[in-house]
């Protein structure tokens, strides 16, 4: 096992307590081994971007449908996509205030194969007079976790 240059028995700048050195060494070796496993993945899936792998594994049967006409209903969306497999849910996203459609929605299939078939058949096709775009839904991301500003900022006290 390698020893770390900054581990030492003496106190001073740049040294760690002697009891922490073996733990730190093991942690660094484990991280290096994990890095080797991740980067030397012989499977063809290593050529696929990680974001696509996550979205296909995590919510693979949930599809994003964009470009919907504003008068499309959830029943109409369900009817249009149910010919390609068992639709578990069809949801149209609406504005909170006006309750009008935002022009996109989500369709959830029971299996990945049905979802892939729907993407192949419906992407770029017309639905109720508009061309729609169908792709795998991406997982929701936390946009920084910062709350929305409500009023002026708090004053900074300088003492």
Tell how strand 130-131 and strand 133-136 pair up.
unpaired
Write the pLDDT tens digit of every residue in 121-132: 999 999 989 999
Is residue 136 within 8 A of residue 66, CB to CB? The reply is no
Q: Among positive and negative, which fits the CA dihedral 114, 119, 125, 126?
A: positive
The DSSP bridge pattern shows strands 126-127 and 101-109 to be unpaired
Residue 57 has pLDDT above 70, yes or no: no
Q: What pLDDT does residue 150 have? A: 72
| Distinct helix (H) and strand (E) counts, the chain | 4, 6
φ/ψ region of 145 (left if φ > 0, alpha if ψ in -120 to 50, else beta) reads left
| Across 34-40, average pLDDT | 65
Rounded to an integer, what distance in angstroms lies between the CA atom of residue 28 and that of residue 20?
Answer: 12
Average pLDDT taken over every residue of the chain: 75
């Amino acid at each position: 096992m390698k020893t770390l240059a900054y581990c030492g028995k003496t106190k001073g700048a740049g040294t760690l307590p002697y009891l922490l050195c073996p733990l730190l060494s093991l942690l660094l070796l484990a991280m290096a081994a994990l890095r080797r496993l991740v980067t030397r993945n012989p499977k063809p899936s290593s050529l696929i971007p990680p974001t696509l792998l996550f979205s296909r594994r995590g919510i693979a049967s949930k599809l994003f449908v964009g470009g919907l006409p504003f008068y499309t209903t959830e029943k109409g969306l369900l009817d249009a996509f149910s010919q390609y497999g068992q639709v578990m849910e069809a949801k149209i996203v609406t504005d909170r205030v006006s309750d009008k459609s935002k022009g996109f929605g989500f369709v959830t299939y029971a299996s990945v194969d049905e979802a892939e078939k729907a993407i192949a058949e419906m992407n770029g096709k017309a639905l109720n007079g508009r061309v729609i775009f169908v792709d795998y839904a991406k997982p929701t991301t936390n946009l920084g976790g910062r709350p929305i500003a409500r009023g002026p900022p708090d004053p900074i006290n300088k003492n």
